[in-house]
C-alpha cells in the first residue's frame, strides 16, 4: 500500500477532501513534530472564521517550524492564486510583531509546479519569520514518514493493503457488535490499573526490546479490543497497527517507524519479526492457558471480568436504563446482592 501523489490529487477533487485535509495535516504534524499544541479544525468546523490551523512546536522539523506557525489548507485547483490570496489576507490581518515571531504555512492537496518560485518571492518580502508551502508531492513524502497515519488515510480512501488495519478501525468494529455500542470508558470500568500496566509494559518493550506481551481475556477478540483501546487512550502511542493476517508483517517490516503491533490472533504472532523498537501485543483467551507456548519470561496480563458493581457502572455509562441493567446482570449470571 502506497499513497501516491496522483492518488492525493484525485482525492483533492472530491467533496470531502476540503473538510478532511486539515484532519490529515493535523495527524501528520502531531506524528512528526514535538508539538505543544495543535488547533486545526476539520469536518463541519472548516467553515469557521480564522486560521485553518495554529501550531505550537517545541522544535524545528522539515514540516513544522519551531514556535508558532499559522496554517492555511486548500484543495482548490488554482493553487498559486489561492495561496497568494490567503497570504495577503492573513498578512494584512496579523500584526507586524506577531509575524516577526511566527511562520506562515500553506498546504495544498494539489500539485503546485511553481511552488518554489512562490516561496522565494514570499520569503524575500520578509513579512514573516518564515514561510513554508507543501503540495501533493510533499504530502506523499510526509505520509511515507508516518506509516500509521498513512494506513488510517488509506482506510478512508478504501485502498488499505491486506493484513493490517488501524487500532481505531479494529476497536470500532468490535465495539459496534454490542447494543448500545461499547465505549472505551465502559470497557475500562474497574480496569484502569490493568490498562496503565499494559501501557507501561508496551513503553518498556519499545525501549528495551522485550518479548511479546500476552494479554488474556474472556475471548481473543476481547483481549485484542482491550489492547487497541489502551493504545488509543495513550496520546504518545502514535505508530501502532493491528496485524490481521501474517501478510501484514511485511508492512511492519517495511516501516521501521511503527513501534507497536497488536495481533488479531495468537497464530499471527508466530510470524512476527523481531526488531528493536517494536512492541508486540498478543491476545489470548483465558481458556487457552494450557495450550499457550509462552515462556515464563514473557510479560502476561489477564483481563478479568469486572465484578457486579463495575459491570453495573459500565452499563449505566452506556446509557442503559436501570431496569435493563438489572435484566442484563441476571442474564449474564451476576448474582443479586
Give the chain's length: 337
pLDDT for 48: 64
Answer whether CATH 1.10.287 is correct for domain 5-147.
Answer: no
Domain boundaries along the sequence of the chain: 5-147, 161-304, 306-337
pLDDT for 262: 98
pLDDT per residue rounded down to tens, the chain (337 residues): 689 999 999 999 998 999 899 999 999 999 987 877 888 877 765 566 689 999 999 999 999 999 999 999 999 999 999 999 999 999 999 999 999 999 999 999 999 999 999 999 999 999 999 999 999 999 999 999 999 999 999 999 988 878 999 999 999 999 888 777 788 888 898 899 999 999 999 999 999 988 999 999 999 999 999 999 999 999 899 899 999 999 999 999 999 999 999 999 999 999 999 899 999 999 999 877 655 545 556 789 999 876 656 656 656 665 654 444 344 434 444 444 3
pLDDT for 283: 97
pTM: 0.79
What is the C-alpha separation between 46 and 48, in angstroms, rounded? 6
What is the C-alpha separation between 224 and 266, in angstroms, rounded? 10
Q: Which of 234, 40, 262 is nearest to 169 (CA)?
A: 262
What is the C-alpha separation between 163 and 146, in angstroms, rounded? 18
pLDDT for 215: 96
Q: Which of 141, 158, 145 is nearest to 258 (CA)?
A: 145
pLDDT for 323: 43
pLDDT for 78: 96
Phi, psi for 286 (deg, rounded to 5): -60, -35
> Residues near 169 by Cβ (< 8 Å), separated by ≥ 6?
152, 155, 242
Fold held by 161-304:
Rossmann fold (3.40.50)
Amino acid at each position: 500500500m502506497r499513497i501516491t501523489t496522483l492518488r492525493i490529487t484525485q482525492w483533492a477533487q472530491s467533496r470531502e477532501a476540503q473538510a478532511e485535509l486539515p484532519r490529515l495535516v493535523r495527524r501528520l504534524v502531531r506524528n512528526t513534530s514535538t508539538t505543544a499544541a495543535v488547533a486545526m479544525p476539520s469536518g463541519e468546523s472548516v467553515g469557521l472564521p480564522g486560521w485553518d490551523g495554529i501550531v505550537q512546536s517545541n522544535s524545528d522539523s522539515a514540516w513544522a517550524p519551531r514556535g508558532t506557525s499559522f496554517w492555511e489548507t486548500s484543495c482548490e485547483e488554482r493553487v498559486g492564486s489561492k495561496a497568494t490570496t490567503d497570504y495577503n489576507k492573513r498578512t494584512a490581518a496579523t500584526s507586524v510583531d506577531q509575524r516577526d515571531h511566527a511562520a506562515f504555512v500553506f498546504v495544498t492537496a494539489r500539485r503546485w509546479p511553481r511552488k518554489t518560485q512562490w516561496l522565494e518571492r514570499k520569503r524575500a518580502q520578509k513579512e514573516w519569520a518564515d514561510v513554508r508551502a507543501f503540495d501533493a508531492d510533499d504530502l506523499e513524502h510526509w505520509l511515507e514518514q508516518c506509516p500509521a497515519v498513512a494506513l488510517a488515510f488509506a482506510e478512508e480512501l478504501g485502498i488499505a493493503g491486506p493484513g493490517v488495519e488501524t487500532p481505531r478501525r479494529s476497536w470500532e468494529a468490535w465495539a459496534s457488535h454490542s447494543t448500545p455500542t461499547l465505549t472505551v470508558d465502559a470497557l475500562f470500568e474497574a480496569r484502569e490499573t490493568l490498562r496503565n500496566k499494559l501501557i507501561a509494559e508496551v513503553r518498556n518493550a519499545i525501549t528495551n526490546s522485550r518479548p511479546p506481551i500476552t494479554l488474556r481475556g474472556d475471548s481473543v477478540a476481547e483481549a485484542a479490543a482491550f489492547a487497541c483501546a489502551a493504545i488509543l487512550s495513550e496520546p504518545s502511542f502514535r505508530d501502532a497497527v493491528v496485524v490481521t493476517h501474517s501478510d501484514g508483517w511485511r508492512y511492519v517490516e517495511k516501516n521501521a517507524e511503527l513501534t507497536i503491533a497488536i495481533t488479531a490472533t495468537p497464530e499471527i504472532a508466530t510470524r512476527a519479526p523481531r526488531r528493536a523498537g517494536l512492541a508486540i501485543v498478543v491476545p489470548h483467551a483465558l481458556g487457552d492457558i494450557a495450550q499457550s507456548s509462552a515462556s515464563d519470561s514473557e510479560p502476561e496480563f489477564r483481563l478479568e471480568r469486572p465484578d457486579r458493581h463495575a459491570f453495573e457502572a459500565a452499563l449505566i455509562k452506556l446509557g442503559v436504563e436501570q431496569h435493563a441493567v438489572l435484566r442484563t446482570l441476571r442474564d449474564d449470571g451476576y448474582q443479586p446482592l
